[in-house]
Amino acid sequence: MPSFANLVLADGQATPVNHTFVPTSLVENLAVYTDRAKSIKGEQPYATLKLVAGKSATSVSRVVGTVAIPLYDAVNGKQVNVTRVNFEVIVPGTSTQAQRDDAAAYLKNLATHSIVQTMVKGPEGVY
């Protein structure tokens, strides 16, 4: 079982900078992490991770996560919008270790694939 420890994630700037998301709360298996580099809560990026375990060894479990990047208007003192990344991995209890390994690798590699990167950064659709 992974420990509730810091997440260090690089940003997407021209010269990437690592951001430390510190454990903020852990309630009912929902882990919340916050990048506290900014002093105002409304402008702090955060991440969540949760395992929704199946009721038996053969039932489906889900790994659910979010990264939220708020845009904060300091002049008016409010959050303008939030860019959000959501993911869900559905893991049947009967899946093999090889299938789970593949799912983890595909998730990682899909996020960094040029098609996905272009769609997010553009934003542009596949043609």
Report pLDDT digits (tens) over 75-97.
Answer: 999 999 999 999 999 999 999 99
CB 78 within 8 A of CB 39: no
pLDDT of residue 123: 83
Helices 114-121 and 97-112 sit at what angle, rounded to 10 degrees?
Answer: 50
Give this prediction's pTM.
Answer: 0.88
DSSP-assigned beta bridge partners for residue 85: 67
pLDDT of residue 42: 93
Q: For residue 110, give both structure tokens.
A: 């899909």
Give the C-alpha separation, 54 to 77, whole Å: 42
Q: For residue 25, give both structure tokens.
A: 């709360």
What angle (nearest 5°) sits at the alpha carbon of residue 48, between those of residues 68 and 100?
A: 115
What angle (nearest 5°) sits at the alpha carbon of residue 4, between those of residues 88 and 63?
A: 10
Q: Which residues of the chain have pLDDT under 50?
A: none
What angle (nearest 5°) sits at the alpha carbon of residue 65, between those of residues 61 and 70?
A: 165
Q: For residue 27, give both structure tokens.
A: 């309630």
